[in-house]
């Protein structure tokens, strides 16, 4: 009989070799889905609020470098933002599912007669989230955008203010997207 540790190591090795887990990189790239060019994605721009870095830099200093300069978004950027956000969420959810399954199996061994519920939230349908965007040009002259995703709008406050959120679960998540390289990094669930 194969132990759970061996199964776990095999699963992690498979995921690493398949590209689902990257141990050596914080940046991930994403190509648009096959047979669906990025410029044909339908995007609801009413779910976006765009902020100028110069107006919020003091509040969110850790997100931006002093050399970052404000820029504008192009129409095609919204489709890239949606595609890369979806890719980041799929990767995050797969990792969470593995951790949840491992937790459930461990707890079932300890408490076989108790229904165990997974503790880690997953993000569902990121296209339905409202998005706060801060587009910049970084020191390498690359176009980047910080994206804050919010599951529920709070009147119109989300369009006028980026509030700090602690313990918002899967209702709030952030990531940084490099529009020039078509990559994302720094995905974080609040």
What length does the chain have?
Answer: 190
The number of angstroms, rounded, from the C-alpha of 38 to the middle of its chain's C-alpha atoms is 18
The interaxial angle of helices 4-18 and 75-110, nearest 10 deg, is 170
- pLDDT tens-place string over residues 74-104: 989 999 999 999 999 999 999 888 888 898 8
Q: Are 116 and 71 in contact (CB under 8 A)?
A: no
Break the chain into its structural domains and give their ranges: 4-189
> Phi/psi class of residue 76: alpha, beta or left (left: φ > 0; alpha: ψ in -120 to 50)?
alpha
Please check the confidence at residue 2 and state whether its pLDDT lies above 50. Answer: no
User: What is the mean pLDDT of the segment spanning 14-26?
Assistant: 36
Structure tokens at 39: 């410029």
Is the pTM above the cut of 0.95? no
CA 116 to each of CA 93, 105, 108, 112: distance values in angstroms, whole numbers, following the listed order: 19, 9, 7, 9
Contacts of 85 (CB under 8 A, 6+ apart): 126, 131, 147, 149, 175, 177, 184
Chain-centroid distance of CA 103 in Å reads 23
CB atoms closer than 10 angstroms to residue 179: 20
**Degrees (nearest 5) of the Cα angle 119, 154, 165?**
45
Residue matched to tokens 């669906």: 36
Query: Can you tell me the mean pLDDT for 153-166?
Result: 78
Cβ atoms of 183 and 27 closer than 8 Å = yes
168 vs 113, higher pLDDT: 113
Per DSSP bridges, beta strands 143-150 and 130-137 are antiparallel
The DSSP bridge pattern shows strands 28-29 and 183-189 to be antiparallel
Average pLDDT over residues 8-14: 36
Dig out the tokens for 127 from the structure.
């296209």
């Amino acid at each position: 009989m194969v132990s759970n540790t061996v199964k776990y190591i095999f699963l992690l090795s498979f995921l690493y070799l398949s590209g689902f887990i990257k141990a050596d990189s914080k940046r991930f790239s994403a190509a648009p889905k096959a047979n669906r060019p990025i410029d044909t994605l339908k995007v609801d721009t009413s779910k976006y609020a765009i902020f100028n870095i110069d107006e919020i830099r003091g509040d969110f200093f850790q997100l931006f470098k002093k050399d970052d300069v404000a820029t504008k978004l192009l129409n095609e950027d919204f489709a890239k933002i949606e595609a890369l956000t979806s890719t980041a969420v799929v990767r995050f959810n797969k990792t969470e599912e593995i951790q949840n399954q491992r937790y459930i199996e461990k707890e079932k061994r300890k408490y076989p007669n108790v229904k165990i519920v997974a503790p880690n939230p997953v993000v569902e349908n990121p296209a339905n989230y409202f998005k706060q965007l801060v587009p910049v040009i970084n020191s390498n002259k690359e176009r980047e955008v910080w994206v804050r995703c919010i599951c529920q709008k709070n009147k119109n406050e989300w369009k006028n203010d980026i509030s700090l959120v602690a313990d918002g679960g899967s209702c709030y998540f952030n990531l940084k997207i490099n529009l020039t390289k078509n990559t994302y990094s720094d995905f974080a669930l609040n």
